[in-house]
Amino acid sequence: MNIPVSVVRCDDYTYPNVHRAVQTCFDHLGGLKRFVRKDQKVLIKPNLLSAKDPSRAITTHPMVVRAVTEQVQNLGAVPILGDSPGGVDRGIRRVWENTKLSEVAGQTGAKLVAFETSGVHPKTTPAGKTYFIAKPVVDADVIISLPKLKTHTLTLMTCAVKNMFGSIPGFRKAEYHKQAPKPKDFAQVVVDIFSLTRPHLTLVDAVVCMDGDGPSSGDPKYAGLLFSSTNAVALDMVAAKIMGFKDNEIDTTRIAQKKGLGPKSFEQIQIHGERLEDIPLPKFVLPSNRFIKMIPDFLLKLITPFVWVRPNILDGNCTNCNVCVENCPTKSIHKGKNRPHFDYSRCINCMCCHELCPHRAIYLQKSRLARRIG
């Protein structure tokens, strides 16, 4: 196996630069016409986690979406733009407006689809597990996935494989968190969903990434790159290297490799364009709870009373909006007069509350011993 991955510099989000870099990425892979034909329905799936401005680096930048959309249109195909944001539905239109996806639709004439209201198709893995996938994903002739490279406090990194978790509409995502409370089990769910929704092409927005406690409460980090491949697992291997994770550290990548969904090793990846060793990469701050994931399960059980990391609220930032209450899959957060309260005995540490708080009011609180270790 020799899997091509195209890595291209993109200095900023000005449209000519993004357009050129996207074109170069696709050219390295043989051109977009290899994947897209006239009149085909092409689902373009960015990461639209929440209704935030692109400058926050939480969502795929609209210029990347626009450049891909226009190149699809140039081939006579029909682009459809869609994703399911995180959490219960508080208004997809606000997400489209704030992330500037509406502007892309206005500029290009591409159709926006709401996964929340478009229905689902059941799809079953070879192991017999059924997932309910948004219809526009299943019905598309071609899927082009546009992830944003970010750290993630549950899965450590979110990139190409994790982006397809957004194929699951709204509340069902929380259900899957509940059914798979351990990070490794959740990673298995993510890979299952990826295996049922595999994109034909993935292009990663890593011009401005996110580091620290992502995917929404971290900090923007400039890397100045776009990278692309037909194989999302290979892209995640490249992404993990760029971010500074150890080999095999990302559960979703390891599980996907074991299932034969990607290259077994980095040697099977052929980089076209920029060699990683020649790029002045920034030092990424990795999630603050990362050390806990390195502790073996049996030991973790023993030391949990002393070594823990859990969500807590920064009073000054909390607006008592109750987004966290509505989105906790185990109902471990209760409404309060001035702010919600946690019932840690029910908490599965899925970090959905941390991910979905619109005001960066939830932080990862560490026990005294955890602070000394990590």
Q: Is 347 in the site for ligand SF4 (CB under 6 A)?
A: yes
Q: Which stretch binds ligand SF4 (CB under 6 A): 160-168, 196-204, 251-259, 325-333?
A: 325-333
Angle at 194 between CA 101 and CA 221, to 5 degrees: 50
Where residue 273 falls (left for φ over 0; alpha for ψ -120 to 50; beta otherwise) is left
Q: How far is 36 from 199, CA to CA, in rounded Å?
A: 12
Q: How far is 227 from 120, CA to CA, in rounded Å?
A: 30
Amino acid at 274: E
Angle at 228 between CA 223 and CA 234, to 5 degrees: 95
Residues binding ligand SF4: what is the number (CB under 6 A)?
Answer: 27
Q: Is 58 in the site for ligand SF4 (CB under 6 A)?
A: no
Instruction: Mark 295-314 with x for binding to ligand SF4 (rule: CB under 6 A) and - for no binding.
Output: ----------------x-x-
Least Å distance, CB 295 to ligand SF4, is 18
Return the residue of 179, 299, 319, 334 that touches ligand SF4, per CB under 6 A: 319
Least Å distance, CB 246 to ligand SF4, is 25
Residue given tokens 């994903």 in the structure block: 137
3-state secondary structure labels for all residues of 93-125: HHHHHHCCHHHHHHHHCCEEEEHHHCCEEEEEC
Q: Is 362 in the site for ligand SF4 (CB under 6 A)?
A: yes
The token pair at 250 is 């990302």
Q: Is 359 in the site for ligand SF4 (CB under 6 A)?
A: yes
Of all helices (H) and strands (E), which one includes residue 43? strand 41-46
Q: Is 351 in the site for ligand SF4 (CB under 6 A)?
A: yes
Return the residue of 81, 328, 364, 370 that touches ligand SF4, per CB under 6 A: 328
Return the residue of 23, 118, 125, 322 that touches ligand SF4, per CB under 6 A: 322
Binding site for ligand SF4 (CB under 6 A): 311, 313, 318-324, 328, 330, 332-333, 339-340, 342, 347-353, 357, 359, 361-362
